[in-house]
């Protein structure tokens, strides 16, 4: 399709944003992370920096060009209502970027849990391009919109559908991610998998909350491989969740494994609470495929070791929280949706 003049200007502006974000000093990042963690204690300095690094690496000119070359720009801009989540730092940034890249207006309802970082990012966009910044409108109550993109829990999705069902919409519900293990993984694989489990304390839809393992799987190498993440237990909210869930398992006499900072529990359930990782065994690759197929609409992504290649389209260990611009939540192409209005 090629790149049009609007897209060329947009790519230039967002490339400038990338340079601006890369140039943030340690002191600026410290101040920003402190303000963010005061608003939301889950947003530690480490996690805020990880989110910024992930976004910054996405916003390079070749990737932006590759992404946008598959789409046109709308001829008549619409007002797109964005209801942003706040479970992990800057989780709403990609939706905002899509709306702006498509040529539409973004009417944004912030999450109270991620106000500081999103406000900062919008300020940075406005600085590199006042023209793009003018297409961002912040509202506490969304009104006068043509379409809605809303992200939340299964409960809030019912509320969104009730209030915004009359508009063209993308309404996202709870999803989680899973890992497939075969027993051939090494220490480096488990170290990378640990990143997919523990980044953002497991609060993101791209975080691994469950392992699928072969029968008689030995968890010892897994526990050894994730040992470097033991410091999660020093975050008081994570620690409280771990202690609470450990007490529940002990009181109920539920069999589980415990390494001092993560509880492993065998169950057919998918979404584990903070501090807990679920697992389920499979006998054959075919049985595994059937198990995953039954849960597909609840799974955001499947991760496995790069050498395994058991599941088509699986994400390599360590990459779950580093999506590309064209990796859309719930496999719904946001840009295509925006073009169709």
What are the residue ranges spanned by the domains of the chain? Answer: 5-174, 176-316
Q: Mean pLDDT in the chain?
A: 97
What value does the mean pLDDT take over residues 307-321?
93
Q: Is 183 in contact with 305 (CB distance < 8 Å)?
A: no
How far apart, in Å, are the Cα atoms of 20 and each of 89, 106, 122, 175, 318? 18, 22, 13, 32, 26
Asked if 341 contacts 74 with a C-beta cutoff of 8 angstroms, the reply is yes
- Residues of 16-50 as b/e, b for ≥16 C-beta within 10 angstroms? bbbeebeebeeeeeeebbebbbeebebbbeebbbb
Per-residue confidence (pLDDT) for residue 243, from 0 to 100: 99
Q: How many CA atoms lie within 13 A of 194 on its CB side?
A: 20
pLDDT of residue 22: 96
Region 98-118: mean pLDDT is 98
Q: What is the pLDDT of residues 252-278, one digit of tens each?
A: 999 999 999 999 999 999 999 999 999
Burial 140-176 (b: 16+ CB within 10 A, else e): eebeebbbbbbbbeeebbeebeeebeeeebbbbbebb
pLDDT at 280 exceeding the cut of 90: yes
Closest by Cα among 254, 270, 174, 261 to 226 = 261
The 10s digit of each residue's pLDDT in 142-195 is: 989 999 999 988 889 999 999 999 999 999 999 999 999 999 999 999 999 999
Segment holding 248, helix H or strand E: helix 236-251
Q: Is the dihedral of CA 238, 242, 248, 252 positive or negative?
A: positive
Mean of the pLDDT values across residues 27-32? 97
Q: Are the beta carbons of 302 and 179 closer than 8 angstroms?
A: yes
**Model confidence at 308, in pLDDT bands (50, 70, 90)?**
confident
State percent of the chain over pLDDT 70: 100
Cα radius of gyration rounded to whole Å, the chain = 21
Q: Does residue 90 contact residue 113 with C-beta atoms inside 8 Å?
A: no
Domain 176-316, CATH homologous superfamily name and number: Aldehyde Dehydrogenase; Chain A, domain 2 (3.40.309.10)
pLDDT-derived band at 2 (thresholds 50, 70, 90) equals confident
Contact 261, 230 (CB under 8 A): yes
Two tokens at 167? 């508009």
Q: Does domain 5-174 have CATH number 3.30.465.10?
A: no
Distance CA 275, CA 263 (A): 6
Task: Give tens-digit pLDDT for 120-150.
Answer: 999 999 999 999 999 999 999 998 999 999 9
pLDDT range class, residue 1, cuts 50, 70, 90: confident
Residue 281: pLDDT above 80?
Answer: yes
Q: What is the pLDDT of residue 257?
A: 98
Closest by CA position to 213, among listed 156, 251, 265: 265
What average pLDDT does the segment 80-106 reach?
Answer: 98
Who contacts 299 (Cβ-Cβ below 8 Å, separation ≥6)?
Answer: 175, 176, 177, 178, 270, 292
- Cα 140 vs. chain centroid, distance in angstroms? 23
Q: Which of 231, 292, 302 is nearest to 260 (CA)?
A: 231
> With helix as H, strand as E and coil as C, how does 312-339 read?
CCCEECCCCCCCCCCCCHHHCCHHHHHH
- pTM given for the model: 0.96
């Amino acid at each position: 399709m090629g790149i049009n003049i609007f897209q060329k200007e947009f790519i230039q502006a967002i490339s400038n944003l990338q340079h601006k974000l890369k140039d943030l000093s340690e002191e600026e990042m410290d101040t920003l992370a402190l303000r963010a963690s005061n608003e939301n204690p889950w947003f530690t300095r480490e996690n805020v920096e990880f989110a910024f690094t992930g976004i910054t690496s996405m916003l390079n000119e070749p990737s932006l060009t590759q992404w946008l070359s598959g789409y046109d720009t709308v001829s008549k801009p619409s007002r797109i209502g964005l209801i942003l989540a706040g479970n992990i730092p800057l989780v709403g940034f990609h939706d905002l970027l899509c709306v702006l890249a498509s040529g539409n207006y973004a009417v944004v309802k912030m999450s109270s849990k991620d106000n500081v970082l999103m406000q900062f990012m919008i300020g940075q966009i406005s600085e590199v391009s006042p023209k793009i910044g003018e297409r961002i409108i912040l509202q506490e109550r969304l009104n006068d919109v043509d379409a809605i993109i809303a992200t939340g829990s299964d409960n809030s999705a019912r509320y969104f559908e009730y209030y915004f069902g009359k508009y063209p919409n993308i309404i996202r519900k709870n999803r989680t991610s899973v890992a497939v293990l075969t027993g051939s993984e090494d220490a480096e694989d488990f170290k990378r998998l640990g990143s997919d489990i523990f980044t953002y304390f497991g609060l993101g839809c791209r975080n691994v909350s469950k392992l699928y393992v072969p029968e008689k799987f030995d968890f010892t190498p897994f526990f050894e491989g994730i040992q470097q993440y033991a410091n999660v237990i020093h975050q008081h909210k994570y620690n409280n969740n771990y202690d609470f869930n450990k007490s529940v398992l002990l009181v109920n006499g539920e069999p589980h494994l415990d390494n001092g900072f993560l509880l492993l529990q065998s169950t057919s359930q998918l979404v584990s609470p903070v501090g807990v990782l679920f697992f389920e065994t499979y006998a054959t690759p075919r049985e595994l495929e059937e198990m995953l197929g039954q849960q597909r609409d609840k799974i955001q992504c499947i991760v496995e070791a790069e050498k395994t290649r058991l599941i088509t389209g699986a994400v390599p260990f360590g990459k779950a929280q580093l999506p590309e611009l064209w990796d859309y939540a719930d496999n719904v192409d946001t840009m295509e949706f925006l073009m169709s209005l």
